[in-house]
Amino acid sequence: MTVTDVNGASIEVLLVEDSIGDVRLTQEVFREANSAIRMHVAYDGVEAMAFLRQEGVHKDALRPDLILLDLNLPKMDGREVLARIKEDESLRLIPTVILTTSDSEADIVRSYELQANSYLSKPVQLEAFESLVKSINDFWLTKAKLPQQSSL
């Protein structure tokens, strides 16, 4: 059974994160914030691109409505993933939010140069992280108007 949003559709979110602990925490907090979310996880940049391009084991992957992207990933870092997403005609309209531990000004500037839709630093404290995830849900998945899958 698929849980759906108010329009009857599930909200597909791709989390690109290599930390298993951060993945579990993010999944748990999103599950509490919005039961319509279906969270998909890619643990490195190469897997993220395979998921987005529906290649290999991801041939049946659903197109995400939102991508949450860490910068420091194995195999292909998040900056390269972001560049490839925004260069790809079929992927560039998917909102891509950088969700990373880095608060480096160089990372922030580079992410926006590569057309990130938002840059968020992961807080260390659990309550602050929960609050951040809830704010992502409130803005990106509740208030913001996202392109419809059929129009992409």
Q: What is the pLDDT of residues 7-54, one digit of tens each?
A: 557 889 999 999 998 999 999 998 888 888 999 999 999 999 999 999
**Residue 136 in tokens:** 């992502």
What are the chain's domains?
A: 11-141 (3.40.50.2300)
Comparing 149 with 110, the larger pLDDT belongs to: 110
Statement: residue 6 has pLDDT above 60: no
- Asked if 100 contacts 70 with a C-beta cutoff of 8 angstroms, the reply is yes
Residue 18, pLDDT score: 94
Across the range 61-70, mean pLDDT stands at 94
- Identify the bridge partners of residue 98 per DSSP, sorted by sequence position: 69, 119
Residue 142 has pLDDT above 90, yes or no: no
Q: How many CB atoms lie within 10 A of CB 150?
A: 5
Please compute the mean of the pLDDT values over residues 88-112 and round it to a whole number. Answer: 93
Residue that wins the pLDDT comparison between 9 and 88? 88
The CA distance from 67 to 39, in Å, is 10
Report the chain's mean pLDDT, rounded to a whole number: 88
Report helix, strand or coil for 11.
strand
Q: Report yes or no on whether pTM surpasses 0.85.
A: yes
| pLDDT value of position 143 | 85
Q: Tokens in use for 149?
A: 């899958």
Long-range CB pairs of 115-120 (<8 Å, 24+ gap) are 115/82, 115/86, 116/69, 116/82
Contact predicate 91/69, CB 8 Å: no
